[in-house]
Structure 1
Amino acid sequence: MLLEQERRDVCLTARSIARHPGTAPGEAGTISVRSGDLVVVTPHGIPLEQLGPGDCPVMSLDDRVLEGRRDPAAEATLHLAVHRDAAEHGRDVGAVVNAFTTDTVAVSTVLVELPPIHHRAAGLGGAVAVTPYAPYGTGDISDQAVKALKGRDAALLAGHGGLALGRNLEHALENLRLLDWLSGTYLRARQVGEPRVLSEEELAEIRHRDTYGWAGPDPFL
């Protein structure tokens, strides 16, 4: 079986997303992981918590299905577009995760951009773009997602939910959970008042400090 370990990892990630509070029931998202020129994607028509390795199609970067007992999910078009763009621009992207959670869907239907109100937003690239609405499985939503991810590790797809990238599946899932948390935090803050948004200078300082670890730059150097 092609990419057996990667297929197993996709299934484990799928179960983790299905257990996450606020995730929609059933086909609650899509997952992909790339190995060279091959990509494992989630299939169409199976709830995330029921996936088995043999269900997950293996595809080439040029959209050909090479192996798998089920058809790819419609969003495979989006995943492959993101992987191709990352490969073309030399980005270290090995996995893409999309999930329909309450908070990411809610924010994506209201805002054109999720502003950075917490320093952890710097880890995703700052403000998170929200794509214009487009039907899932289309070239339009794929193009919009690629555009929204320029210089970012996450995006919100209007009316669909969150999308996150990572070096591997663990990293992509961590970024997705961070996006979900930032979305929920913003929604709660708006119940109290207008949230304070971090400036580009403040985000740049956070990124600078992050390169030194928890203590920040050595004051004696």
Structure 2
Amino acid sequence: MAEEPDGARRDEGELALAWDALVATARRTVTDGLVVGTSGNVSVRVGDTVLVTPSGVPYDELTPDDLVAVGLDGERRAGTLKPTSELPMHLAVYRATPARAVVHTHAVHATAVSTLVPELPLIHYMAAALGGPVRVAPYATYGTERLAGNVLGALEGRTGCLLQNHGTLTYGDSLAAAYDRTAQLEWLCRVWLTASSHPRLAPALLTRDQVREVEEKLRGYGQRG
């Protein structure tokens, strides 16, 4: 029996590690209350292969053998489970942006905000972490190319958006970055809803120039050599 080439083994090992990280991130969305049951989905890009959570499988039941992989064209490359119904949306983001990971949730506060405004008001400077004012993608049936197109429009110049009467989508250069943006977006929505609930007072909002100033500061944020 011929031995498997070293390159193939390395590729399989890389996909296995990426799958483990994807499953851990998906489980975190449940633990942190960003999704209920099997709602929401997570994906990560490895080269020109996209790993994605399967449709209708609880995240705590996923194993290494459940890996689901497709190409950027949606053709299956590995696994037997059916990919998430939101695959068109994930693939559209990968084809149009530098995303290496995508997180989609049905977070409560973000979903509520998506039903109220066309754009999340600038309630806090951390909107800068998402590229500026967060837009709401117009409603379309889940899993459709129309929804994918609406999301791309809302993402222009941004790394996250709300989906009207649906939820959130964020992307990043890693699963950790995409997840952090999801958590920040849900927090921003919660802050705005809380401030807006006062019966007599309206929340003070930031200007776009103030948020742009923070965007510049964030480029140098953190521990850098």
Contact in 2 for aligned 1:18/1:49 (Cα 8 Å):
no
| 8 Å Cα contact 1:98-1:162 kept in structure 2 | yes
2:41 partner SS:
strand
Per the normalisation by structure 1, the TM-score is 0.89
Tell me which residue corresponds to 2:217.
209
The number of residues matched between the two structures is: 208
The answer for the alignment partner of 2:120 in structure 1 is 114
Partner of 1:18: 30
CA contact (8 A) 2:135 2:162 kept: yes
Q: Is residue 41–residue 86 contact of structure 2 (8 Å, CA) maintained in 1?
A: yes
Alignment partner of 2:88 out of 68, 77, 80:
77
Partner-residue secondary structure (3-state), 2:168: strand
**CA 1:24–1:206 in 2, change beyond 3 Å: closer, same or farther?**
closer
* TM-score using structure 2 length: 0.88
Residue aligning to 1:104: 110
Q: Which amino acid aligns with 1:9?
A: A
Letter in 2 for 1:40: L
Q: State the secondary structure of the residue aligned to 1:113.
A: coil
State percent identity of aligned pairs: 36
| TM-aligned CA deviation for residue 201 of structure 1 | 1.3
The answer to whether the 8 A contact 1:116-1:122 is kept is: no
Q: Which letter does structure 1 place at the counterpart of 2:64?
A: P
* Aligned equivalents of 1:54, 1:172: Cα separation in 2: 24
Q: Does 1:7 align with 2:37?
A: no
In structure 2, the residue matched to 1:64 is: 75
> Within 5 Å, which residues of 2 pair with 1:66-215?
66-86=77-97, 91=98, 93-192=99-198, 193-213=201-221
Instruction: Give 1:50 deviation, angstroms.
Output: 2.4
Deviation (angstroms), 1:47: 1.8
Q: CA 1:44–1:213 in 2, change beyond 3 Å: closer, same or farther?
A: closer
Kindly provide the amino acid, as one letter, of the partner of residue 8 in structure 1: D
C-alpha deviation, 1:203, in angstroms: 1.2
Native 8 Å contact 1:56 1:72 kept in 2: no
Cα drift, residue 212 of structure 1? 4.4
Larger radius of gyration: 2
Shift of 1:197: 2.0
User: Is the CA contact 1:28–1:48 (under 8 Å) kept in the aligned structure 2?
Assistant: no
Residue deviations 1:178-207 (CA, integer Å, cap 9, x gap): 001001111001012322221121112212
Structure 1: runs of 5+ lacking an equivalent: 215-221
Deviation at 1:25, TM superposition (A): 2.2
Structure 2 residue runs of 5 or longer lacking an equivalent are 1-11
User: RMSD across aligned C-alpha pairs, in angstroms?
Assistant: 1.5
How far residue 160 of structure 1 moved from its aligned partner, in angstroms, is 1.4
